[in-house]
Structure 1
Amino acid sequence: MDPLTAFGLVAVSAMLVTYALEDRSPWFILAFAGACLLGSAYGFLQGAWPFGVLEAVWAGVAAWRWRSKTSQASGTA
């Protein structure tokens, strides 16, 4: 396994784990956003730019969800 493939495996595995744990804490939503950014970087590095773009969009959606969730928790929704 080459280093780029290993990086992709780690990125996608992190996405899976953090997505599964999102209900436990809003911080897992933010971690999912970060994992999506890693997945996006992997997509661009391996030449699959549509995958990179979509993962970047997912990162933005997750960051928005995290912000909404933390705003609700603090009562400033």
Structure 2
Amino acid sequence: MDSLTLFGLAAVSLMLVFYALEDRRPWFVLAFAGACVLASMYGFLQGAWPFGLVEAIWAFIAADRWRRRRS
């Protein structure tokens, strides 16, 4: 398993964990957004630009949800 694959595995694993914990604290929503950014980077680096694009959109959606939960 190469380092890019490990990076992708870590990114989507973090997404799963933070998504499961979102209801506990607003910071988990922000952490989910950060994990989406990492997954987006993985998608673009791997050459799967549709995956990278969708994950980038998810990151913006999650960041907006975090912003609304804080106020």
Q: Shared fold by TM > 0.5?
A: yes
Deviation at 1:15, TM superposition (A): 0.1
Deviation at 1:6, TM superposition (A): 0.1
Q: TM-score, normalised by structure 2?
A: 1.00
Residue number in structure 2 paired with 1:23: 23
Alignment-mate amino acid for residue 33 of structure 2: A
Deviation at 1:54, TM superposition (A): 0.3
Deviation at 1:43, TM superposition (A): 0.1
**Count of matched residue positions in the alignment of Structure 1 and Structure 2:** 71
Report the RMSD for the aligned CA atoms in angstroms. 0.2
State percent identity of aligned pairs.
Answer: 73
Residue number in structure 1 paired with 2:60: 60
- Summarize the alignment of residues 1-77 of structure 1 with structure 2, pairs less than 5 Å apart: 1-71=1-71
Q: Which runs of 4+ in 1 moved over 4 A?
A: none
- For residues 56 and 50 of structure 2, the distance between their equivalents in structure 1, rounded to whole angstroms, comes to 10
Unaligned stretches of 5+ residues in structure 2: none
SS at match of 2:47: coil
Unaligned stretches of 5+ residues in structure 1: 72-77
Q: Deviations over 1:20-66 (max 9, x none)?
A: 00000000000000000000000000000000000000000000000
- For residues 53 and 25 of structure 2, the distance between their equivalents in structure 1, rounded to whole angstroms, comes to 26
- For residues 24 and 3 of structure 1, the distance between their equivalents in structure 2, rounded to whole angstroms, comes to 32
- For residues 7 and 21 of structure 2, the distance between their equivalents in structure 1, rounded to whole angstroms, comes to 21
Q: TM-score, normalised by structure 1?
A: 0.92
